[in-house]
Structure 1
């Protein structure tokens, strides 16, 4: 049993992670893998604290997101 666990641990260690490159100048639509719905700013709000929901994808401005470099 210990040999099996050790070989499984080694197998898991050898897998490498591949991160996607994010373009900070591009706009993205973020979809939930399970529901298929898009991240959406409720009622097209632009104020601080606006509610974020999942909604059927419609490609509107309220569903477009941009990644910002946090400087880290």
Structure 2
């Protein structure tokens, strides 16, 4: 009886690097819409929605290092 040996080589996945000085537009993969602060609000508890991408300030997001 012949046997077959197959060796698979896998590479370790690397985490994406996030630049904490850069601004990002976060898009929903399914709808293509951007994460948006509703009505340009700046108050605590402001509503976040999906909206057609317009590259406005309300769609610009920055990641902050939490020290973890």
The alignment's TM-score, normalised by the length of structure 2, stands at 0.82
Classify 1:16/1:56 alpha carbon distance in 2 versus 1 (closer, same or farther; 3 Å). same
How many equivalent residue pairs?
A: 68
Residue 20 of structure 1, CA deviation: 1.1
Classify 1:62/1:68 alpha carbon distance in 2 versus 1 (closer, same or farther; 3 Å). same
Larger radius of gyration: 2
The alignment's TM-score, normalised by the length of structure 1, stands at 0.78
Classify 1:45/1:11 alpha carbon distance in 2 versus 1 (closer, same or farther; 3 Å). farther
Q: Structure 1 runs of 4+ off > 2 angstroms?
A: 5-18
Classify 1:16/1:44 alpha carbon distance in 2 versus 1 (closer, same or farther; 3 Å). same
Classify 1:70/1:43 alpha carbon distance in 2 versus 1 (closer, same or farther; 3 Å). same
Residue 13 of structure 1, CA deviation: 11
Residue 16 of structure 1, CA deviation: 2.7
Unpaired runs of 5+ residues, structure 2, are: none
